[in-house]
């Protein structure tokens, strides 16, 4: 499987597409979403801390999260839970959501085609990017796990995004912050750069992303254009 390095770029040519995850890469939503999810589940008898929510469920679709919760606890969530959770999410994001530091500047400097491929619902992706002023950098090239049969860590979403954008998987580089996303990118035959600069990152995050298959791991968005350009090791 490819790993985007200077040697690979020399052999195959420069990347033709950068695929960004959204939550935890472009917008600092993971701490907010994890807190809201933990509070909502605890209130209905499924006790969970925000950190447990980060550790267990980051990077996978809400549908998969709730299926896991019900399986773990052996009972169904109350009727209307998803709708109430969505309302709480929207209110919290409206009040608190911010772009990751340096993202807007990086996107203005990035000469390559780009798109977003996220486990979130399409409406949520669009709303979060609009709230943070990042939507014009990507619209209309937004892809959601709703559009494919299997979400991350399956490769379906990244392969679908590459196909729609007219790029071969081997010429795509994915920017991801979580293990499921890294695994999905590698399964798709794409290079993947691990980002550990989000508010949910922990001291072990970089090592976990490398172990999952990230070619490089970085913590500041200002580093990304250089990594895409020459594949040098991070300091």
* pLDDT reported for residue 14: 79
Instruction: Report pLDDT digits (tens) over 138-162.
Output: 999 999 999 999 999 999 999 999 9
Architecture of domain 30-96: Orthogonal Bundle (1.10)
pLDDT band at 231 (very low <50, low <70, confident <90, very high): very low
DSSP 8-state class, residue 121 = -
- Say how far apart CA 6 and CA 47 lie, in whole Å: 47
What b/e string do you get for 200-230 counting C-beta neighbours within 10 Å, with b at 16 or more?
A: bbeeebbebbeebbbbbbbeebebbbebbee
Higher pLDDT, 65 or 8: 65
Top-tier CATH class for 6-29+98-230: alpha beta
* pLDDT reported for residue 115: 98
Q: How is residue 11 written in tokens?
A: 């052999």
Is 23 an annotated catalytic residue? yes
Write out the H or E segment, with its range, that includes residue 96.
helix 81-96
What's the mean pLDDT when you consider all of the chain? 89
* pLDDT reported for residue 30: 84
Ranges 68-72, 87-91, 162-166, 229-233, most confident: 162-166
Considering the candidates 21, 89, 156, 177, report the single residue annotated as catalytic: 21
DSSP reduced 3-state for 193: strand
pLDDT at 198 over 90: no
- Identify the residue whose tokens are 């772009």: 99
Domain ranges of the chain: 6-29+98-230, 30-96
pTM: 0.82
Contact call for residues 128 and 27 (beta carbons, < 8 A): yes
Higher pLDDT, 232 or 14: 14
Is 156 an annotated catalytic residue? no
Considering the candidates 23, 28, 89, 177, report the single residue annotated as catalytic: 23
Phi, psi angles (nearest 5°) of residue 117? -135, 110
């Amino acid at each position: 499987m490819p790993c985007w390095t200077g040697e690979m770029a020399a052999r195959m040519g420069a990347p033709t597409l950068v695929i960004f995850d959204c939550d935890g890469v472009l917008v600092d939503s993971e701490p907010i979403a994890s807190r809201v999810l933990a509070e909502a589940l605890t209130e209905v008898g499924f006790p969970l801390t925000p950190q447990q929510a980060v550790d267990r469920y980051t990077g996978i679709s809400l549908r998969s999260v709730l299926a896991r919760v019900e399986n773990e606890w052996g009972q169904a969530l109350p009727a209307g839970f998803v709708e109430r959770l969505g309302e709480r999410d929207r209110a919290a994001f409206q009040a608190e959501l911010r772009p990751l530091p340096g993202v807007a500047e990086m996107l203005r400097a990035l000469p390559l085609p780009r798109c977003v491929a996220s486990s979130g619902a399409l409406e949520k992706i669009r709303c979060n990017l609009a709230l943070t002023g990042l939507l014009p950098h990507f619209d209309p090239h937004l892809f959601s796990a709703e559009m494919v049969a299997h979400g991350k860590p399956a490769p379906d979403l990244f392969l679908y995004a590459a196909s729609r954008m007219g790029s071969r998987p081997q010429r795509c580089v994915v920017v991801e912050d979580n293990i499921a996303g890294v695994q999905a990118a590698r399964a798709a035959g794409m290079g993947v750069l691990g980002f550990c600069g989000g508010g949910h990152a922990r001291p072990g995050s970089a090592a976990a992303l490398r172990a999952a298959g990230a070619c490089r791991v970085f913590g500041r968005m200002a580093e990304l254009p250089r990594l895409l350009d020459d594949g040098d090791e991070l300091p």
